[in-house]
Structure 1
Amino acid sequence: MAEVDEISTDPEPWGRNWPHQFDSYKATAGDEFYGGSSAMPASKLDHQPWLRRLYAGYAFSIDYREARGHAYMLYDQGVTERVTQKQQAGACLHCHASTNVLYHKVGREAMGLPADDASLAAALDMDAVIRGFQEVSTMKYQDVLGMLKSMPDGTPDENDPVVPQPPVGGFTSEFAGQPVPDGHPSLIAGEAHPVSCIDCHNPETMALRVTRPGFILGVAAFAESDEPVPHLPSVERWRRGDRDERYDPNKDATRQEMRSYVCGQCHVEYYCATGDTLEFPWGQGLKMEQAEAHWNDKQFPDGTEFYDYKHGETGAEVLKVQHPEFELWSQGVHAAAGVD
């Protein structure tokens, strides 16, 4: 049996213990991993040119392609022109990479706590993870990528990732339209992994867990609202309690709820850009009109009105919905029936 702990972001040791699940993980790449510029999925912009005008002024007008499986989530982000030609935030890695160790280390350092490998491996301190996430969220994508690649991943004696690494700076060796500088931290030989086993499983017990700060803070804000949630009994139960501590899905949620929560960490609506920390708009509820009200009430840190992007032709300030699958599921018949 392979030993795994809180720095085991590399899925390979987990795969030695759970080979069938590991095969399923690798199968999200298809029959084999297809990288390189000639193997990219079809461009939605080429098939539907009107999207370029719809997203004018937004990075999706530059590059927008068909989705691929989880194995590609970090590779495809690393090569998209949305990253190589336009400046993106470090928060983009929140749901495209295995970021537990990065957030944990940065957070512990910011809190004045030991952040050596042994301390990181021993236990996951979610307060430190959230602090680290807040520290790096608005940093430049390429700088946070460099930090991520320098983190321990549980396999110090090998550097052959299960999923191929994207070429640094994509196929043109650029970030935000500029050549990757010599010596940039993202060029180091370390590994960064797409979302991995450790992101949804406790390495000691294998129990499901959530580790993404965006979800943990978002669902806690949602629990504070008055929106009825019969499909989430743990939230209703928490509301009837003394509320001395915020709703914590890892302590309060049922096993059945966790089956949805692990997906809801990323398959959601959110804000993710350089203007502010990544955020889920759940403070008033999960419905579309409640998310819109949340964004309408929000301001950027400098006090200006919140928006996702300013349209390149009209100058209109636009709210751009991402992919609110968890929210849609929450309002459907499957959630009402307890089906995840």
Structure 2
Amino acid sequence: MRKHVIFIGLVILVITGFIAVGCGSDTKQPVAFRADIPPGTLAAEEFAKYYPKQYDTYMKNAEMSNGPSKYGGSEEYDNLTQWPFLKEIFAGYGFAIEYNEDRGHVYSVEDVKKIKRINDKSIASCWTCKSANVPGLVAEMGDDFYGTNFHALTDKITDPITCANCHDPQTMKLVITQPPLRNALTRLGKDPDNLTTQELRTLVCAQCHVEYYFAGDKKVVTFPWDKGFTPDDILAYYEELGFSDWEHPKAGVGEIKVQHPEFETFIGSVHYEAGLSCADCHMPYMMVGGEKISSHWWTSPLKHINESCMTCHREDAEWLKERVFYTQDKVADTMARVGTVNVEAIEAIAAAAAAGANQDLLNEARQLQRKAQFYLDWVGAENSMGFHNPQLTFDALSKSMDYAYQAINKAAEARTGVAGPKWDVAIPKYNSEAIKLMQAHETQ
């Protein structure tokens, strides 16, 4: 009898459950994945109806503060004031007029409209990393999008960087939406639609946080990765192409303006080799109202160090922060010194040209200065003050210093006819000899 009563009770409970589901509220509750958002939806506010907690973190990108970071941040400030040598480095180019630190991603459309580098001749390529509307416009217009006048498309650019830049609105899976990255991956033999989740947790950021240039007559945004990702590889790519962004009026040579090569710099770093992605540090998991979500506040990991750094590191938070600053302070100090030498190289070339120096030797000096400027700008344009990859950063700065001094010496030779000293240090030989000595010592 008791079993019979329990069975009837269970039946009633199941029926009641079906009735409850059938008469449920129309209120959409946030769940892990939904398919209710129509394809082509761009506005973050539409995604917020289903993912309010993630949206709340996304809207923190509207906050403007630099601390606890010492370099960068989301407050708008003038890089030309902070790094005065940049005015000389970028002379003759728009970045010598205005070079502001970016604010948060939610301001991307607003900020690009007001920068002084945008003028009547600017092209739509400048919209590429600023709006969720761009992939759709490229699909509609093809490569003609890029060379179209910037202002002609203003009315069609309605949304900044939103959820749609990285997510399929129906499945919320991470996707590569930006055509330049899809094209680059395809050229490298990588299917942009067949990537692992961990790969995507970096590559969705690499849709914009990369070096690029405007290729061909149509000015198509292109990632120069065909030879590799290092500064050496990318410079070799540009050298083979004969590419330059502008001619420096004093140095008399075509220069390359590096953009924001965070992805390329991150490759090969200790964190990259450990298997981490951009999202692991910049979009850490956190608990909100008992739910585990990824933060969509794209900011310095130092602002949420417990969720980012300390999920792996067991050291004290203040100690970790000081280690970050230690690296960044050294990079900043070195960059300032290298920048000064780069300006001296430009001045030396200009003085030699004014004195009627040997043109062949002067052109050699100019090519050396072009390389020096590229390596310096790689570090200055990258948004971590070297922390994404300190070893690569200092390597780039040392090469910039070396090429700048070579340019100065070559300009002097062009002017005086007297060659400067040449240093031919056989570093591999000395290293191998040192290793032999250490190995011999260990066997004693």
Class of the TM-score when normalised by the shorter of the 2 chains: 0.5 to 0.7
Which runs of 5 or more structure 2 residues have no equivalent in the other structure? 1-27, 29-34, 66-73, 278-444
What SS class does the counterpart of residue 6 from structure 1 fall into? coil
**1:274 shift after superposition:** 8.6
Structure 2 counterpart of 1:334: 271
> 1:208 and 2:174 equivalent?
yes
What SS class does the counterpart of residue 278 from structure 1 fall into? strand
The 2-side partners of 1:295 and 1:31 are apart by 36
Q: 2:235 aligns with which of 265, 269, 292?
A: 292
Deviations 1:3-51 (A, max 9, x none): 422321111110111001111111101079xxxxxx9822122333321
Structure 1 counterpart of 2:48: 15
Structure 1 counterpart of 2:147: 138
The 2-side partners of 1:70 and 1:334 are apart by 24
Structure 2 counterpart of 1:195: 161
Ranges of 4+ aligned residues in structure 1 off by more than 3 Å? 272-275
Structure 2 counterpart of 1:6: 39
Structure 1 counterpart of 2:253: 316
Identify the structure with the greater helix proportion.
Answer: 2
What SS class does the counterpart of residue 188 from structure 2 fall into? helix
**1:260 shift after superposition:** 0.5
Structure 1 counterpart of 2:211: 269
Alignment check: 8 A CA contact 1:222 1:285 kept:
no
The 2-side partners of 1:143 and 1:254 are apart by 38
Q: 2:202 aligns with which of 260, 284, 289?
A: 260
The 2-side partners of 1:248 and 1:144 are apart by 30
How do 1:104-183 residues align onto structure 2 when only pairs under 5 Å count? 104-106=139-141, 132=142, 134-146=143-155, 148-149=156-157
**Could you tell me which amino acid in structure 2 is paired with residue 71 of structure 1?**
V
Deviations 1:170-201 (A, max 9, x none): xxxxxxxxxxxxxxxxxxxxxx1111111100
Q: 1:87 aligns with which of 102, 110, 121?
A: 121
**1:253 shift after superposition:** 1.0
Q: Provide closer, same or farther for how the CA distance between residues 42 and 273 of structure 1 changes in structure 2, counting only shifts above 3 A.
A: farther
**Could you tell me which amino acid in structure 1 is paired with residue 54 of structure 2?**
Q
Which runs of 5 or more structure 1 residues have no equivalent in the other structure? 33-38, 107-131, 150-191, 224-246, 299-304
The 2-side partners of 1:89 and 1:274 are apart by 13
Specify the structure having the higher radius of gyration (Cα).
2
The 2-side partners of 1:294 and 1:144 are apart by 31
What SS class does the counterpart of residue 290 from structure 1 fall into? helix
The 2-side partners of 1:86 and 1:285 are apart by 35
Alignment check: 8 A CA contact 1:138 1:273 kept:
no
Alignment check: 8 A CA contact 1:91 1:273 kept:
no
Alignment check: 8 A CA contact 2:42 2:159 kept:
yes
> 1:26 and 2:59 equivalent?
yes
What SS class does the counterpart of residue 286 from structure 1 fall into? coil
What SS class does the counterpart of residue 95 from structure 1 fall into? coil
RMSD, aligned α-carbons: 2.2
Q: Provide closer, same or farther for how the CA distance between residues 61 and 86 of structure 1 changes in structure 2, counting only shifts above 3 A.
A: farther
Which one has more relative contact order, counting CA pairs under 8 Å at least 6 apart?
A: 1
Deviates more, 1:2-11 or 1:305-314: 2-11
